[in-house]
Structure 1
């Protein structure tokens, strides 16, 4: 059995800002990871494709406030940066 991905360690190189901001990004990244794992059985960010993150934005966050969608968008950009992908997301 493999160990679950430590999202804090995964994002350590790209996280910056205050303690509260870093904690928010980590909490949101774990939520993104859990929802993608439930929907597509893709446990780690290395297995994700752009379509998985677009699904999260369009379906999981549907009906959420614009501010919530914006903060998740910032976390998605951090994930893409960490994966060294040039993905662009629109909200």
Structure 2
């Protein structure tokens, strides 16, 4: 039996700011996780590659507003920071 990956625990070390902001980042990170999991069957961010995040931002968010893409971009930066990867995401 597989235990579901807990995104809240994963991001706990890099989350700062107001409670509402932390909750938004967690909610958006779970959305990113669900989309990548559905597309590539990769549950844990530890198994993601840069192409997975790039796909999410280029294709999955393509019809979202510029403001939504910006807030997801901020969450993406937190995920990358937590993974300690040298990746970058193009600004929205």
What interval of TM-score do these two structures reach, taking the shorter chain for normalisation? over 0.9
Q: How many residues align?
A: 91
Can you give the 5+ residue segments of structure 2 that lack an aligned partner in the other structure? none
Query: Which residue does the alignment assign to 2:78?
Result: 78
Can you give the 5+ residue segments of structure 1 that lack an aligned partner in the other structure? none
Q: CA RMSD, aligned part only? A: 0.6
Q: How does 1:48-87 map to 2 (within 5 A)?
A: 48-87=48-87
TM-score (norm 2): 0.97
Query: For 1:19-64, what per-residue CA distance to the aligned partner results, in whole angstroms no more than 9, with x for missing partners?
Result: 0000000000000000000000001001100000000001000011
TM-score (norm 1): 0.98
Distance 1:57 1:5 in 2: 21
Runs of 4+ in structure 1 off by over 6 angstroms are: none
Distance 2:30 2:86 in 1: 21
